Amino acid sequence: MNQNISTAIRSDTGKSASDRLPWAGLLSLAMAGFICLLTETLPAGLLPQISDGLGISEALAGQLVTLFALGSVVAAIPLIALTRGWRRRPLLLMCIIGFLVFNSITALSFNYTLTLVARFFAGVSAGVLWGMTAGYARRMVSDSLKGRAMAIAMVGAPLAMALGVPVGTYLGVLVGWRTVFWIMSLMSMALIVWMFWKLPDFSGQASDKRLSLRKVFVIPGVQSVLFVVLTWVLAHNILYTYISPFLSKANLTQRVDLVLFIFGITSVVGIWLTGLWIDRMLRSLVIISLSGFVLASILLGIGSSQPIMIYMGVAAWGLTFGGAGTLTQTAIAEAAGDSADVAQSMLVTVWNTAIGGGGVIGGILLEKWGVGNFPWILCVLVLIALTVAWRARGHGFPSKN
């Protein structure tokens, strides 16, 4: 591309972004995502231990996950909008310090209310981090590598799901849940040093370029991407949240760990494949991923009582959903341009809303229609997302990337 050199985003030192991937910096962002998602989801695997440690019911222990998600939803949009003019690395380091402080408080606390407060503010740190990670990664590289850089920066999330949560759960049972939170605090300390050493700093957005939230929301393509995120992630979480009862028909309730491991590993493969091709075929990958998710839903629907079909369907599910975060974040960043961070905060809010909605809607559907209908409900939701993505060929998921 003839204009790559002239259009490459420049760092504050005046040097153009490298034509090579800055692996150390991008992997520090991936590590931040790993710690973030592990902090969010690990309590779900350690509910009995946390319940005993705090002297509460497992239902109340489950609210540690709820308060984290609430903090992310509440904080993402207003705080990203408020800090648009701040330098990027200090803001990101504040988020990591937040994980260090609030995970340490969680490890120390024997008071349920204090623990909930710590979890809420850990979620606030997460909301800001997720809102700025994609834009940060894109500023570190030239135009031709933006999608690949985002794929690397986002790989921490599926790795946390595939490896971090199972290992953390095992360690929590073995040495205690408080020790696992201390380990996450130590990881945060190491990451702070790493970022000081290897992560470049960038200026915030100039005041004359800051659009209002409403103006960012109506930028062509932004609403299409947000709608696809809502329906796609909602479909995913309806089944993911209630995977255990879904597996009962195939007598796989005792193999939930294996099923989730298959999902996690294939998700990592999905994000790897996304990273290889996203800079050349973003729209095609979105269409292929959504179509593949539809096929996975059908496979799970017709084979809900057959273990081999379940394993195949879950593998296809993970493969097609693994790159969803990178694909949608890239699409909304390209649509929003200079207002990418604010648009990303909207995506984070919609994503977390869909996670919560999956639990609520899935619970209602479970009571009314039974878990056997979930794959067909997923199929309908993802077909709606596919239709919107297909029609958004002008903006959102354009034909030419």
Verify that 263 and 387 share a domain, yes or no.
Answer: yes
Q: What's the pLDDT score for residue 10?
A: 39
Verify that 204 and 257 share a domain, yes or no.
Answer: no
Answer yes or no: is pLDDT of 360 > 90. no
CA atoms of 378 and 30, how far apart (whole Å): 29
% residues pLDDT > 70 (the chain): 95
Structural domain includes residue 3: no
The candidate with the shortest Cα–Cα distance to 382, out of 283, 236, 266, 265, is 236
CATH of the domain at 81: 1.20.1250.20
Specify which of 183-197, 205-219, 270-284 reaches the highest per-range mean pLDDT.
Answer: 183-197
Last residue of a domain, one of 208, 223, 242: 208
Q: What's the pLDDT score for residue 16?
A: 43
Verify that 194 and 216 share a domain, yes or no.
Answer: no
For 234-270, the pLDDT digits (tens) are 999 888 878 878 888 888 877 877 888 888 889 889 9
Q: What's the pLDDT score for residue 208?
A: 65
Verify that 64 and 198 share a domain, yes or no.
Answer: yes
Q: How many domains does the chain have?
A: 2
Q: What's the pLDDT score for residue 264?
A: 83
Q: What's the pLDDT score for residue 17?
A: 45
Domain, as residue range, for 52:
18-208
Yes or no: say if 76 and 126 are a contact pair by the CB < 8 Å rule.
Answer: no
Q: What's the pLDDT score for residue 338?
A: 81
Structural domain includes residue 325: yes
Average pLDDT over residues 92-112: 97
Specify which of 134-143, 278-287, 353-362 reaches the highest per-range mean pLDDT.
Answer: 278-287
Q: What's the pLDDT score for residue 400?
A: 67
Structural domain includes residue 61: yes
Yes or no: say if 282 and 401 are a contact pair by the CB < 8 Å rule.
Answer: yes
Verify that 320 and 255 share a domain, yes or no.
Answer: yes
Verify that 249 and 351 share a domain, yes or no.
Answer: yes
Q: Which residue has the higher pLDDT, 338 or 393?
A: 393
Verify that 192 and 250 share a domain, yes or no.
Answer: no
Structural domain includes residue 2: no
DSSP for 54-102, written as a single string: HT--HHHHTHHHHHHHHHHHHHHHHHHHHTTTS-HHHHHHHHHHHHHHH
Verify that 229 and 156 share a domain, yes or no.
Answer: no
List Cα–Cα distances, 390 to 227, 242, 321, 383, 384, in angstroms: 13, 29, 17, 10, 10
Verify that 56 and 199 share a domain, yes or no.
Answer: yes
Q: Which residues of 365-398 are buried (b: 16+ CB within 10 A; e: fewer)?
A: bbeeeebeebbebbbebbbbbbebbeebeebbbb
The CB density around residue 160, as the number of other CB atoms within 10 Å, is 24
Last residue of a domain, one of 177, 208, 239: 208
The candidate with the shortest Cα–Cα distance to 290, out of 236, 360, 332, is 236
CA dihedral sign, ordered 205, 210, 214, 217? negative
Answer yes or no: is pLDDT of 127 > 60. yes
